[in-house]
Amino acid sequence: MSFTPLTEQLIEALQVLPGVGSRSAERMALQLLERDRTGAESLTRALRSALDGVRQCERCRALSESELCTLCSDDDRDHSLICVVETPQDREAIELSGGFRGDYFILQGHLSPIDGIGPEELGIPQLIDRVRDGGIQEVVLATNATMEGEATAHYLIEQLGPLGTAVSRLAQGVSRGELGRVDSGTLSHALTDRKQVSFEHD
């Protein structure tokens, strides 16, 4: 099928969407240009507004429309506790458990050297800086109980150890697998029973 150059560009660009290959992108482009220009206009405007208006919270890396997200700017929360999670979904799961009233830090992934995801990509230097600046009583590591999550937690323990701040991990008790699938009760319990990490230099 032959398309005009700008239509070709759109088909190409649509393939940044997860799960969209060249055939679906063709179908999408034709739908937008031939049959639903109004929808295409709203989509363009929504993308523009979201790209301009939605950024990462400067403290926790959650998506936010202001410098600090709603949780980080909530004075009722204990800003001396930081719970480190891999994704916003994990933060949501812990919030629903009701077992934690501190701040979060969202890595937006886990260490994965093969995919070029190192500490920089996960914002880890930013987390270390915040702990180094003081005022933090404890960092709770709540990465997934998967190989990559464990490796990420291990790296964080190495980095946070020398700073003298307490570091803990979720208690044994969370089932093996993705944190987002653990029920609220188990999560809440695991938070209460969290274990302090002892460093080799102790």
Q: Pick out residues in 128-157 that bind a second copy (CB under 8 A).
A: none
Would you state the structure tokens that stand for residue 109, as one six-digit string?
Answer: 């992934």
**Distance of closest approach, residue 144 Cβ to a second copy, in angstroms:** 17
| Beta bridge mates, 126 | none
Total residues contacting a second copy by CB under 8 A comes to 52
What is the distance between the alpha carbons of residues 72 and 57, in angstroms, rounded to a whole number?
8
Contact between 28 and a second copy (CB under 8 A)?
Answer: yes
Would you state the structure tokens that stand for residue 93, as one six-digit string?
Answer: 């799961």
Chain position carrying tokens 């998967």:
146
Identify the H or E element spanning 157. helix 147-160
Chain position carrying tokens 């695991």:
190
* Contact stretch for a second copy (CB under 8 A) within 35-43, 72-80, 123-131, 150-158: 35-43
**Distance of closest approach, residue 106 Cβ to a second copy, in angstroms:** 9
Nearer to a second copy, 138 or 178 (CB): 178
Would you state the structure tokens that stand for residue 198, as one six-digit string?
Answer: 């002892």
CA 115 to chain CA centroid, Å, is 17
* Contact stretch for a second copy (CB under 8 A) within 7-15, 133-141, 152-160, 169-177: 7-15
- The answer to whether 187 touches 181, Cβ cutoff 8 Å, is no
Contact between 19 and a second copy (CB under 8 A)?
Answer: yes
What is the distance between the alpha carbons of residues 92 and 158, in angstroms, rounded to a whole number?
27
* Contact stretch for a second copy (CB under 8 A) within 87-95, 135-143, 146-154, 189-197: 87-95
**Which one of 22, 35, 98, 158 is in contact with a second copy (CB under 8 A)?**
35
Contact between 50 and a second copy (CB under 8 A)?
Answer: yes
Q: What is the largest CA-CA distance in the chain?
A: 68
CA 127 to chain CA centroid, Å, is 13
Contact between 51 and a second copy (CB under 8 A)?
Answer: yes
Classify the C-alpha dihedral 101-135-118-65 as positive or negative.
positive
Nearer to a second copy, 57 or 139 (CB): 57
Contact between 163 and a second copy (CB under 8 A)?
Answer: no
Q: Rule CB under 8 A: which residues touch a second copy?
A: 1-7, 9-10, 12-14, 16-19, 24, 27-37, 39-51, 53-54, 56, 63-65, 88-89, 92, 108-109
